[in-house]
A and B are shown apart, each in its own frame.
Chain A
Amino acid sequence: MAPLHRRLLAAPLLMALLLGGCASEGGGSGGATGVQSQKLDTVRGRGKLICGVDGKLPGFSFVESSGSYSGLDVDICKAVAAAVVDDPNKIEYRDLNSSERFAALASGEIDLLSRNTTMTLSRDAAGGNGLSFAPTTFYDGQGVMVPVASGVKTLKDLAGKPICVESGTTTELNLADRMREIKAAYTPLKFQTGDQTYTAYLGGRCVAVTSDRSQLAAKRTSFPDPQAHLLLDEVLSKEPLTPATVNGDPAWADAVRWTIFGLFQAEELGITKANVAAKVAEAKANPNLADLRRFLGVEGDFGKQLGLPPDFVVKAVSAVGNYGEIFERNVGQESKLKLARGLNRQWKDGGLIYSPPFR
């Protein structure tokens, strides 16, 4: 079962390193025209994207009763698949837990990791996990959830109490840091999967469970009695949840990065899933709308520079809508989670969602 499977994950990695030739040489020259990316070619040749997700987190990636995946992280996969292989449904999802996600990416088992992963220095650095991060798709912070009946109001009340946490997460470290700051001894109970963590919490083994606030809110919706649990006001850390690709393939990373920026920019320009076709027609009819024409690929060669079709933004937005639509549908007011946009508003509205110019 699962743990054996997990332990085996390291084996192919070691094997690949033992037996693999040094095929990654070459490339390098990549001028304005010849985009060289092994991954981009692999994905296009395969005709589908292999996307690593959580799979058990309502709002971010979750298997619906119909068997299809949905969520904010899933929509990012869909947008990239639409841009690269021209079909948002040609995706193979891999459910990964927090411990196996980086090995899966490093070994090439998945093309894109879109699994509520916090961007950090050591995960980005070549000497650390060596990932290449795309733009942050959800700005989050770490929170703590307790049963209302426990009477716990602040972090200090948790001194000397057991706290459930998923192992292999930044959450685990932040908890240690904050508790050390306030000089409170505590017992961290670490579990390998989110399911085990929340089962132990609901079983009453821990007085609190800590994770990203969005994740806590999402999990709470699936509890037997969501009203009996309370999110503490304290925010323990910054958690920019960010999709990632493997280091060492800048062209593939760029393709993913600008597809996501395209979703941000589309919201800023008021382009939605419903009106994108009309906007394209408008851009085609009016040669004076230079910005819009370039953005939608009516003129210019932005797509080609990235190794993508000229209208990759149109394909992505037609598939999943702009960033605002993705947010509201999966985690915002149209969803069960009802999270406020908060930091995830457009920069013009005081948020952090900001696309560099398409120029």
Chain B
Amino acid sequence: MPSSPPWWRDRRVIPWLVQGVVGLVVLVVIAFLLGNLVRNLSAAGLLLSWRWLGQPAGFDLSESVLPFNAELPYWRALMAGLVNTLRAVAIGLVGSTLLGTLLGMAAFSSNGLLRRLAVVYVEVIRNIPLLLQLVFWYFVVFLSLPNGTDALQFPGVVLAKSGFYAAGFEQGHWHGPALINGVWHAPLRLSVELTALLTGLIAYTSAFIAEVVRGGIASVAKGQWEAAASLGLHWSITLRRVVLPQALRVIIPGLNSQYIGLAKNSSLAVAVGYTDLYSVAETTLNQTGRAVEVILLLLGAYLVIDLLISAVMNGLNRLVQIRER
């Protein structure tokens, strides 16, 4: 009769035992850290409290998509900052994807000049720190733009020191930028801070996206190009109809981390005076002194934004993967 081994040598028990011990150690460490946090915070008279969120903020924001004034509470200010961040991230994502894809495709162009320009762009932009580029765009480029009648005017678009103005529909009619009493008005207006931030973010991220796209295209077997060419397809049709759909499988996971990077980099907005979540949080922190709470909120907000981007991209990734039958 086969005697069963004692429990401490049982193959079915040991893994559970080990997992349990590790789990317990992790729990104890977390409990120790949290206990210490609470003890030290209360010793410093800084026990976590969220009541300040309901108090009037008392400061104004230079721009906000949500309506905001100084009498509204802190949480509304933080929400306004969050929406401003999301706005910059959303425009940044679209812009850098378009520009990055074009640049990545240009690297395979039959036009040698275009090919080399794309390489030079990528190498120059991605090797200069983003902060430096933002400061350059804002303080050197945009703040030296002229104002009023001297502003740079293109059909439907005006670039002035006070901001970026573009034509659009307003009350059912098409309106271009117009100068009224020395101040530009237009249906679409971006402050010069947001314009500088977007320019910097898009220029920087598109260089990385270009490399991801280039890598994706390069991963498609040479035979695919040759097959398309033998059918007499034009270079651009080959790229769009034959190569890119296959390259997407390689590109999308790489894009994911670039998108997340862009969302996080948007917090550098504070360097160019754009009122993003980080900028509002910093003012809030200084006014309330609730450093730990504000930092926790910030950490949470950026984590959620990035996880959302990740979730969407992972869903997209599943869509383009080869389904084996």
List chain A positions with a Cβ less than 8 A from chain B. 1-3, 7, 10, 13-14, 16-22, 24, 98-99, 102-103, 106, 122-123, 126-130, 162, 167-169, 172-173, 176-177, 179-180, 186-192, 196, 199-200, 203-205, 248
Contact = CB atoms under 8 A, between A and B. Distances in A.
B143 A205 contact: yes
B282 A203 contact: no
Interface of B: 33, 36-37, 39-41, 43-46, 58-63, 70, 129, 131-132, 139, 143-144, 147, 161-162, 192-193, 267-268, 270-271, 273, 275, 279, 282-283, 285-289, 291-292, 295
15 contacts: A1-B131, A3-B268, A17-B41, A18-B33, A20-B36, A103-B291, A122-B288, A123-B289, A162-B62, A167-B286, A168-B282, A176-B70, A187-B62, A189-B193, A204-B143
A18 B60 CA distance: 34
DSSP class of B's interface residues: helix, strand, loop or mixed?
A: helix
Contact of B289 (A122, A180, A191): A122
A97 to B, nearest CB: 10
Given A172-B59, A200-B139, A99 B193 contact: no
B36 A186 contact: no
A130 B273 contact: no
B143 A203 contact: yes
A21 B35 CA distance: 10
Contacts of A10: 291, 295
Given A1-B129, A196-B273, A167 B279 contact: yes
A169 B59 CA distance: 11
Contact of A13 (B62, B273, B287, B291): B291
Which of B43, B144, B162, B292 gathers the greatest number of chain A CB atoms within 10 Å? Answer: B43
A317 B282 CA distance: 39
A123 B288 CA distance: 9
B229 to A, nearest CB: 48
Contacts of B46: 130
Given A130-B46, A167-B286, A188 B62 contact: yes
Contacts of A187: 60, 62-63
A204 B228 CA distance: 56
B33 A98 contact: no
Nearest to A126: B45
A196 B271 contact: yes
A216 to B, nearest CB: 19
B287 to A, nearest CB: 7
Nearest to B131: A1
B70 A20 contact: no
B131 A3 contact: yes
Given A3-B131, A18-B37, A176 B60 contact: yes
B283 A172 contact: yes
Nearest to A160: B183
Contacts of B129: 1
A99 B58 CA distance: 17
A190 B39 contact: no
Contacts of B162: 162
Nearest to A206: B273
B146 to A, nearest CB: 10
Nearest to B192: A205
Contacts of A102: 286, 289, 291
A205 B161 contact: yes
Contacts of B268: 3
B33 A19 contact: yes
Contacts of B192: 205
A167 B282 CA distance: 8
A98 B282 CA distance: 10
A180 B275 contact: no
Nearest to B42: A22
B286 A168 contact: yes
Contacts of B267: 3, 7
Nearest to B147: A204
Nearest to A103: B291
